[in-house]
Amino acid sequence: MQPAFEEIEHTADWALRVRGQNLTDLFRNAALGMLSLLDIEPVPGNTESRSFELTAEDSETLLVAWLEELLFPLEVENAAVVDFQVKVLQKVQLKATIELKKIASIKKEIKAVTFNELDIRAIETGYETIIVFDV
């Protein structure tokens, strides 16, 4: 069975190949893959829950917006996403609920989610894309 996400070679940055049975699954796996790269240790204790909706003109732009939304609290609130639920609707809209915890330590930094080689393709088992992160 092919992995939900795997790190692939990139000279300067980080790149993931992500797969999903449907777009919701792809977006979930992309988020899990990205968060695994950051090596975050949250502070024990309560989580803060937050819900939001995003829309974009195509699925790739929506994927970038979704991943950026998960990164934003890191710097501004010193908080990390420790759990989430996401549902992609109509390919260009999503609804999500994220659970945030304050950060005890974080080892890696992602500067940005790029559009480089980003192309959500239908494959036999669902969808696949490459995502390159500027680090």
Partner 1 sequence: MVEKKDLIKITDVTWEIPTSYREDMRVPVRIFADETLIEAALGDKSFDQAVNTATLPGLVSPVVVMPDVHQGYGFPIGGVAASRYPDGVISPGAIGYDINCGVRLLASRISLEDVRGELPDLALALDANCPSGVGVGGSVRLTTKELDKVCRQGSAWALKNNYARRDDLERTEEQGQIPGAEPSSISSRAKQRGKGQLGTLGAGNHFIEIDVVEEIFHEAAADAMGLAEGLLTVQIHCGSRGFGHQICSDYVREFQSAVKRYGIKLPDRELVCAPLNSPEGKRYKAAMACAANYAFCNRQVLAHHVRRSFDQVLAGRVPDWDLHQVYDIAHNMGKTETHIVDGEKVRVCVHRKGATRAFGPGFEGLPEVYRPFGQPVLVPGSMGTASWVLLGTEESMTKSFGSSCHGAGRVMSRRQAKREIWGQDLREKLEAQGIIIRAGSMPGLAEEAPRAYKDVDAVVDVVVRAGIAAKVARLRPVVVIKG
**11 near partner 1, judged by CB under 8 A:** yes
Q: Which of residues 29-48 bind partner 1 (CB under 8 A)?
A: 39
Minimal distance, residue 73 CB to partner 1, in Å: 10
Q: Is the Cβ–Cβ distance between 99 and 35 less than 8 Å? A: no
Tokens of 66: 């979704």
Which lies closer to partner 1 via its Cβ, residue 32 or residue 112?
112
Q: Which single residue is written with the structure tokens 């992309």?
A: 30
Q: Should residue 117 be labelled a site residue for partner 1 when binding is judged by CB under 8 A?
A: yes
Strand-pair partners of 50: 98
The CA distance from 135 to 121, in Å, is: 25
- Rounded Cα distance, 98 and 86, in Å: 8
The site for partner 1 (CB under 8 A) is made up of 7-14, 39, 57-58, 60-61, 64-65, 68, 72, 74-76, 78, 103, 106-109, 111-118, 132, 134-135
